[in-house]
Amino acid sequence: MVVREFSAGGVVLRKMRGRWFLAAIEPHMTRPKKSPKRSDGPRKAPAALVALPKGAIDKGEKPEQTALREVSEETGVQANLVTKLTDIKYYYVRNWGDGARVFKIVSFYLLIYRSGRLGNISPDMRIEVQNAYWLPLEDAPKTLSYAGEREVAKSALQYLKAHPELGDHATDTTH
């Protein structure tokens, strides 16, 4: 049996000291990765997942509202909607409950930072998100963990190239 899930998320852009950053999170891994056995030397800690904020679309919610809500909950910052970027799709197998195979579609939106402090999240959310930080946008296509999200970052870069005026409304010299 294949079930479907729909989520939405955001690339939150912020310009600081003339450089563009996006809000990245390190979610707690839902499924601990097996680390290969090594006979020599100490075990390396598994690299953290680096991802974009996203979450399930609630009943009656528009995906862009979900993106703004999830960004606020998972990163602590408020943002404004710029445009839709792209949908990404993947399969995964639930490691809980029914063990169903899930076909998931996640709609990503380009958002621009408005207010708030990254990492200012509720104690509940700390269980899901262990870290949030400003990742230089140009590094995102190699730093994000999932191929689909790396493509989302590339499309954000393309959008910025085509719309350099976006920076005019976002001149922000503070941290």
Which residues make up the interface to ligand ATP (CB under 6 A)?
7, 30-31, 54-56, 88, 90, 92, 104, 146, 148-149
Task: Give the residue with the Cβ less far from ligand ATP, 29 or 83.
Answer: 29
DSSP 8-class letter at 22: E
Minimum distance, C-beta of residue 110 to ligand ATP, in the bound complex (Å): 17
Task: Give the residue with the Cβ less far from ligand ATP, 31 or 44.
Answer: 31
Strands (E), the chain: 2-16, 19-27, 54-56, 77-93, 101-116, 129-136
For residue 33, CA distances in Å to 46, 48, 96, 123 come to 8, 10, 16, 25
Residues 172 and 164: their CA atoms lie apart, in Å, by: 15
Minimum distance, C-beta of residue 167 to ligand ATP, in the bound complex (Å): 28
Task: Give the residue with the Cβ less far from ligand ATP, 146 or 159.
Answer: 146
Our CA angle for 18, 20, 22, nearest 5°, is 150
Minimum distance, C-beta of residue 149 to ligand ATP, in the bound complex (Å): 5
Task: Give the residue with the Cβ less far from ligand ATP, 125 or 166.
Answer: 125
